[in-house]
Amino acid sequence: KVEEGLYSPRGPGRGQEGAPENLGRAGWTSPFLLPLAAPPLLGLQETGSEQWTRWPFNSKPSWTLKAVRGARQVADFSLKVEVEVSSLQEAVEAAEAGADLVLLDNFRPEELHPTAAALKARFPSVGVEASGGITLANLPQFCGPHIDVISLGMLTQAAPALDFSLKLFAEGTTPVCRAYRP
């Protein structure tokens, strides 16, 4: 099961040429974020679990390398490959596999900064993204010298709804415009 939002096949676009049949022909948006369900989609063998809930870093160290290589085959050269991780061990493995970006997901600030510093010390060219549980109120806690990108899901998930409507009029009629005042 692929969790919506972790990767986005979208209409015709960059990266679609030569995509394997099991990935479909949709274009991939940048960056190419490897989802939690990437192993079966990339033709890799399942580890016995029917539902992919976590990338199986600990059981199959070569999965990350295979997944990054598979993503590079599908995506064109200008797209970046990003791997979502939940520990320093996973982050190092993703960087060793050749990921352009490593997304440190759901790290508390006291875990995030040492992990990002250790990763940048060993892989200075790898981008580090912080994500998960970040709000405008706690954003300063996640800013730091080793964090390149910060994602705030709350910008879209917690956005207030805007009430608006559209009225269509037949050609040749004169619409009556009224300003809405609550």
Is 3 among the domain residues? no
Pair of tokens at residue 41: 């989609």
Q: CATH code at 72?
A: 3.20.20.70
Number of domains comprising the chain: 1
- For residue range 78-125, what is the model confidence (pLDDT) as tens digits? 888 999 999 999 999 999 998 999 999 999 999 999 999 999 999 999
Residue 25 in any domain: the answer is yes
pTM over 0.85: no
pLDDT tier for residue 31 given thresholds of 50, 70 and 90: very low
Please say whether the beta carbons of 83 and 102 come within 8 A. Answer: yes
Q: Which domain holds residue 72?
A: 9-157
pLDDT above 70 coverage of the chain, percent: 62
- In angstroms, the CA 100 to CA 143 distance is 20
